[in-house]
Structure 1
Amino acid sequence: MRNYLSTIKYALGISLVLSATGCSDQLDEVQPQTSLNRDLILSDPNAAMTLYYGVYGSFRNYHYTLFTLGEMRSEIWADGLFTESEDGGLRNYYTHNIDANNVPASNWAGFYSLLDKVNTAIKLFPQTPVPDDEKNRVLAEMHGLRAFVYYTMLKTWGGVPLTTEPVTQVGGLEELYRERATPEAVMAQVKADIEQSLSLFGSDNALTAPFTGTSKHIYWNRAATLTLKGDAYIWSGTHMGGGSADFATAQQALEEVSAMGGLGLVENYADLFNPAREAGNQEIIFAISYEKDEATVGAYGSFRVNTTQASTLLLDPYTNPRSVSQAYPYLSGASRVGLSESMIQKLQSSGDERIDATFEVMYRNAPPTYPIAGVLLTKFAGREDAGAQLYDVDFPVYRYADVLLLLAEAKTKQGVDPSAEINQIRERAYGSDYTPFVGGSQQENMQAILEEDLREFIGEGKHWWSLRRAGNEWVFAYVDPVYLAPGQEYKLLLPISVGMLNSDPKLTQTPGY
């Protein structure tokens, strides 16, 4: 019985019962209900749309997973300063303390539960009484989301079990067994879903469908599919033998996004993380939604500070001394992970406006030296509301800055000058008197891209994936070899647990572990 239940947990989320969490503002007309069955979905358009909104509610639950998988194995947070006990789980990521007996993100990080909901929507929506234009839009979004999830899993584990059908019933344990598909098969599924998504979107470039009743870009869209296409084809060109043909395909997709109306960099970087500026934000392509009375951001508690310590730590002790509690009276958390002094110095040495909008350095009240105590990640701090801190900043999955840096990468890997895209990023960061980047060798261009990526996306779960997509040599160039060194390429992918192997005789361990 234990193995059977364990297999169900890591595998395919066997129920059609779907929660409608997190979309109350879109569901005013939906029948009040806590679960949906197949017959109701196929007969009631309100129930079908509850299934649709429920997928996004479920996707939001993976914010922390997307952040940790995409960022915490990079150099950003390694050997950082903090004021409380270290977050041991996150330490395992950035020290690469990973083996078959110490597995982060076990049970495939729960992604198969999300995939089962997406598969259910893809399976049932063609048969629902939803109007055809809305139906096609929903299906286009679901294929895009499925491609994104499988692409994330491919980058994390390599080959993973593939399933594109929802699980409706289980007659026996053996029906749940799934072997790992090859990485090539997983990438083929990603690319197939991307093309299906684009076909269903047709010429619909709206960043949010009218039937959602919002102007926030919190539903998958054609620009998101094209950005994912650029991302995935650079990966397959770099790691899977696609070479120049895949880089050219990526460039074409990304240039199509850059030519779309209504998209571009916002003038003020801080506006990207201002909850009051989220509606219709021209830089956001697709984001996870957070709203008061719906859901708030919970991923960054270890990147803040507790209220007791906040009263003893200072910000700007030499120029504008004030305690953290004076500056952020309602902010709370636990300082359990941080930036190293060398990383702080690297990021603060350039007059980059992104840094001031991302974190603040906390100092101990010990004049005259005022030693650094840690940092406070403020990018997703939200705002004060009714005497409390409201963590309601949307989490960008893709934004226009991604498009520019991905396009720069696709060009670089084809030997084309990426300076135009890099300089758009730099001009926003440093102002009109910025120092323009002048294209150089392929290595110089790639390093310039990664340096902008580092500063642009702190806290957004991107930098590890950017290093990986650039190529293994870039991972080893940026990550401390004490933690990850050439010859340990197998560690670029995560293992699966012994319990998973015992539960499913068809599974095999990630190579190298």
Structure 2
Amino acid sequence: MKKFIYGIAGALLFGMYSCDTLDLSPEDYAAAGNYWKNPEQVSTYMNGLHAYLRDDYSSPLVLGELRGGTMREGTSSINTSLNSSSIIRNDLRTTSTGISNWNNYYENILQVNHFIEQVRDECAFLSESARNTFLGQAYGMRAYYYFMLYRTYGAVPLEKDIKILDGKIDAVSLYMKRSSAEDVLAFIKKDINDSETAFGSTTSFDKYYWSKYATLFLKAQIYLWSAKVTTNDDEKPHTATGTSDLEIAQKALNEIIGSNKFSLMKNYADIFDYGKKANNTESILSMYFDRGETTHWGSSFLYTPSIVVGSYYNPDGTVMQDVLQLNTAGIVRYEWKSAFIKSFDQTDSRRAATFLEYYQDKELTKHGSSMLKLVGHVADGIRYFDNDIVMMRYADVLLMMAEVENGLGKPCASYINEVRKRAYGENYTEDVTYTDGTYAENELAILKERDKEFAGEGTRWFDLVRMHDAAKKPLAFSVAVAYLEPGEEAAAVLSNTEEYKLLWPINIGVMTADPEIKQTWGYNQAENIED
């Protein structure tokens, strides 16, 4: 009997994943032909792909923010043990990689690959319009997964299709070495362009499904990264392209802006308000959660009532109560640095909308916080962590445009100020209005605005890798972007000798399962390991 699988040999560790994980059809349906019979089945499969995307809700924070220098590590302000401390302090090594098995992205890529093959080459019952919409979504999703892999690991294996094997599975036939950094990025660009082409001139939009506007948003991210980030690789590195790719990113962003489908929510807190889901004009792509689908992920950012209620203090000196009605929910496993939170002006609405602040002592010296963007809502005395996860939003379009314009040597302050005006509201004055400066000054201003706008949304680490100082060096090596606690020695997120840590190492299990896989660029040399 024939079975379809994908060639990353590490998949053997996961028990040969197939589309039955979507509860759609038996493992060997590719040969049995008992699926792909009508449009409803194709729609159901696409819903399953969106479910996979939603289940990846924690990856942007883990891959895109923890390493960025804004997080506490070790012990929280309420003395709970914090998660991911080795990642937060960038203590990555070949024996302690922080994440494993390519962050499990190839499981999702397998499902998308199979969908593309079937919808592109089969499914004659689909109308041309329906086929193109499905392909636009699928190519966009695959580009997203590979872009997350590329920003994390650089060169990765390129698994483009499904392998059909007869009889016994031979692991050797599944081995697949890492493609070069340049080839991976070229494939990502092709996928995102294929997605845009498939969508064509459509203007239909639903924020809970991958749309043409999600593709344009991701295209801008991809080409902005390509323009500014050099990715090291022993075979074929990618060298930052500069103007040509900045202009492509600019065009994609202008199309989103010119669509008039999106606008900043009037109040910053409304972006994450459970009760404002339906009217979120800022969302380009969101992952929907309802009461029966809560993950309790949001509780990882919130105080433990049994520790703080009646013992800790509000900023006004009053004794803290269970203001969020957590009851027994809540345990701080991730917390942001006090220095970062205090960098927000008190009149910046993002401070109170993002963080609930409190103190361990009545003298208000031992500061702590809970992050509020995933707090959900209370019904019948129970808190449900059922916020939408907003993956792409319009404020990011504006700040990416500021970055693109700055890279092209054009004024960018208007885009920064458009975001800042919403943040300050009635408190917006000339004193907080940004005026264009040098390239490096603008870059730093955009980063600081992004820091405040997207705290907890998984961007800060990626921003530090992509954005530049005056010498066009990544801000990950700049002391100027550090948020230093009292008594903390001034230091950048990475030292000048840690360029290899711009990428993540892969765990030994991946290389054991597939001897064609080599360690990420720079790690063996840094750790004196023979290739």
Q: TM-score, normalised by structure 2?
A: 0.86
Q: Distance in 2 between matches of 1:12 and 1:194?
A: 30
Structure 2: runs of 5 or more not aligned: 1-6, 230-238, 483-489, 524-531
Partner of 2:112: 118
Q: Please say if 1:165 is aligned against 2:161.
A: yes
Q: 1:220 aligns with which of 189, 210, 226?
A: 210
Q: CA deviation at 1:377?
A: 1.0
Partner of 2:193: 195
**43-52 or 66-75, which moves further after superposition?**
43-52
**95-104 or 37-46, which moves further after superposition?**
37-46
Q: Distance in 1 between matches of 2:68 and 2:301?
A: 16
Q: 2:329 aligns with which of 321, 329, 332?
A: 332
Q: Please say if 1:134 is aligned against 2:164.
A: no
From the superposition, tell whether residues 483 and 136 of structure 1 become closer, same or farther in structure 2 (CA, over 3 Å). closer
Q: Deviations over 1:20-74 (max 9, x none)?
A: 5xxxxxxxxxxx9898934233213332222111111111121112221011010
CA contact (8 A) 1:81 1:373 kept: no
CA contact (8 A) 2:295 2:385 kept: yes
CA contact (8 A) 2:306 2:328 kept: no
Secondary structure at the residue paired with 1:220? coil
Partner of 1:296: 294
Q: CA deviation at 1:207?
A: 2.0
Structure 1: runs of 5 or more not aligned: 21-31, 209-216
Q: Distance in 2 between matches of 1:445 and 1:483?
A: 20
Q: Distance in 2 between matches of 1:97 and 1:198?
A: 39
Matched to 1:385, the amino acid is: A
Secondary structure at the residue paired with 1:374? strand
From the superposition, tell whether residues 34 and 455 of structure 1 become closer, same or farther in structure 2 (CA, over 3 Å). farther
Q: CA deviation at 1:512?
A: 1.3
Q: Please say if 1:107 is aligned against 2:107.
A: no
CA contact (8 A) 2:8 2:174 kept: no
Q: CA deviation at 1:494?
A: 0.3
CA contact (8 A) 2:303 2:332 kept: yes
**220-229 or 427-436, which moves further after superposition?**
427-436
Q: Distance in 2 between matches of 1:230 and 1:150?
A: 15
Secondary structure at the residue paired with 2:131? helix
Q: CA deviation at 1:332?
A: 1.9
Secondary structure at the residue paired with 1:105? coil
Matched to 1:337, the amino acid is: Y
Q: Distance in 2 between matches of 1:146 and 1:280?
A: 28
Partner of 1:440: 437
CA contact (8 A) 1:92 1:98 kept: yes
- Cα RMSD, aligned residues only: 2.4
Q: CA deviation at 1:234?
A: 1.2
Q: Distance in 1 between matches of 2:269 and 2:118?
A: 41
Q: CA deviation at 1:205?
A: 2.2
Q: 1:466 aligns with which of 463, 466, 477?
A: 463
Partner of 2:266: 267
CA contact (8 A) 2:350 2:423 kept: yes
Q: TM-score, normalised by structure 1?
A: 0.89
Q: Deviations over 1:342-389 (max 9, x none)?
A: 223212x3411011111111222x43x034352111111011012211
Q: Please say if 1:84 is aligned against 2:79.
A: yes
Partner of 2:275: 276
Q: Distance in 2 between matches of 1:58 and 1:124?
A: 18
Matched to 2:81, the amino acid is: E
Q: 1:497 aligns with which of 507, 519, 523?
A: 507
CA contact (8 A) 1:467 1:474 kept: yes
Q: Distance in 2 between matches of 1:298 and 1:131?
A: 41
From the superposition, tell whether residues 6 and 195 of structure 1 become closer, same or farther in structure 2 (CA, over 3 Å). closer
Partner of 1:186: 184
Q: Distance in 2 between matches of 1:74 and 1:157?
A: 16
Q: 2:19 aligns with which of 13, 16, 20?
A: 16
**280-289 or 438-447, which moves further after superposition?**
280-289
Q: 2:316 aligns with which of 312, 315, 318?
A: 318
CA contact (8 A) 1:18 1:36 kept: no
CA contact (8 A) 1:16 1:168 kept: no
Secondary structure at the residue paired with 2:286? strand
From the superposition, tell whether residues 350 and 251 of structure 1 become closer, same or farther in structure 2 (CA, over 3 Å). farther
Q: CA deviation at 1:331?
A: 6.7
CA contact (8 A) 1:363 1:373 kept: yes
